[in-house]
Structure 1
Amino acid sequence: MTPSPETPGTDPAAGEPAAGTAHPVLDRHTYTSLREPRAAGRLALDGAWHQISPKYVVSQTVQNAILIAIALAIALVLSLGMEQHWVWIPAGILIVTTLIAQVVLPRQARALGYMLRDDDLVFRKGILWQRMIAVPYGRLQLVDITQGPMDRAFGIAKLKMVTAAATTGVEVPGLSREAAEALRDTLIDVAETRRTGL
């Protein structure tokens, strides 16, 4: 489902997200179509899905390349300099695992999405193993934006939502800085109006 960028993501009268609407800042420089399973039994919701920035894939690709280069360098030093040839076994496992993760990364990134509904935010990920997590606005206790060095270089951030039950926290990676800040402000405003007894 493709969000329409001209529809505001908040109800101006209430200052809250309107169910099934798009948000111009959240939909800027993101993927244009959410990748979903084609099976009839898939989990589905009506509404506008917001997606992450394609820069997330670029950032992760660079990080994976750095990880592989470090693993190769360590393996070469230990193997040639100290004649520790066993090091190629863990290095090989690490490199193959990273390469497999890299191959599926673009498909995974296109399957990540979140939806602002009347009472909660729904985060979804996965195609083969699809998962949806609903975070009620009234249960939000902390909204945190995190940026690593590589994230800063590519202008993206990760937004983490912590609820009253710490195990139900949700992390949305690959947001542009503007989208992360806009989503944080929206969630904080709505959480204040929907606060429930904890």
Structure 2
Amino acid sequence: MVDFAESPRTPRLAAPVLPEPKDSPVETAFAAPPGTEWNRLDPVFTRYRRLLTALVAVPAAALGGTGVGLWLHWAMGVAVAVLVLLAMAAAWVTAEGTRRSWGYAEGEHDFYLTFGTVIRQLLVIPYGRMQVVDVTANLLEQALGIATVRVRTAASTADARIPGLRLADAAALRDRLTERAETFPTGL
């Protein structure tokens, strides 16, 4: 009797894809600074992203589909509308993952910001390099009670924003960052 499990021709099933373990190189590279944890965005940010997507995609599908349908052929108009709505569905589904990818931490000497689902980024901004910290909120953000904190530095590539914070949390973060920026030397 032949044991087929031991046969070299038996195909092996791929192992299931599991989340990165806590001590993986990826998790270590994007870990919060020692002694801190990532502060995440408010869950309202997911609703904000979905509403913004719908406010743009639904009219684009209607107008684009109608325009192309009238200009070329009705079937092409339907195709354009379906493509726009599929893009909206993809943005709708990924909104929560986008929110979870954002995090910020206030270290002893630096401010840390991480974000990105496909391309992850980690920004480290020394408090002494911060020049302007401001809070902004568009009409939809105001209606939902959230705001964006923007940190500007001398290096234009290090400008950072933290969207989707509750208004009170955004104002408190702005005040803390401004205070810390004033107490640290500029290093210039």
When normalised by structure 1's length, the TM-score is: 0.73
Shift of 1:92: 4.6
Q: Is the 8 A contact 2:65 2:79 kept in 1?
A: no
- The answer for the alignment partner of 2:89 in structure 1 is 99
- The answer for the alignment partner of 2:6 in structure 1 is none
- The answer for the alignment partner of 1:41 in structure 2 is 25
Equivalence map 1:68-87=2 (5 Å): 68-79=57-68, 82-85=70-73, 86=76
The one of 180, 183, 186 equivalent to 1:190 is 180
Mapped pair 1:158 → 2:117: no
Change over 3 Å in CA distance of 1:128–1:63 after alignment to 2: closer
Q: Based on CA coordinates, which of the two structures has the bigger radius of gyration? A: 2
SS of the residue corresponding to residue 50 of structure 1 reads coil
When normalised by structure 2's length, the TM-score is: 0.76
- The answer for the alignment partner of 2:162 in structure 1 is 172
Q: Is the 8 A contact 2:110 2:127 kept in 1?
A: yes
SS of the residue corresponding to residue 25 of structure 2 reads coil
Structure with the larger RCO, 1 or 2 (CA within 8 Å, 6+ apart): 1
Mapped pair 1:148 → 2:132: no
1:109 maps to a residue whose letter is R
Change over 3 Å in CA distance of 1:112–1:147 after alignment to 2: same
State how many pairs are aligned: 162
SS of the residue corresponding to residue 107 of structure 1 reads helix
Q: Is the 8 A contact 2:66 2:77 kept in 1?
A: no
Instruction: Describe the superposition over 1:103-137 as per-residue Cα deviations: whole angstroms up to 9, x where unpaired.
Output: 11101211211000011110012345322111110
- The answer for the alignment partner of 1:133 in structure 2 is 123
Change over 3 Å in CA distance of 1:56–1:176 after alignment to 2: same
- The answer for the alignment partner of 1:18 in structure 2 is none
SS of the residue corresponding to residue 97 of structure 1 reads helix
Q: Is the 8 A contact 1:112 1:125 kept in 2?
A: yes
SS of the residue corresponding to residue 87 of structure 2 reads helix
Shift of 1:83: 3.6
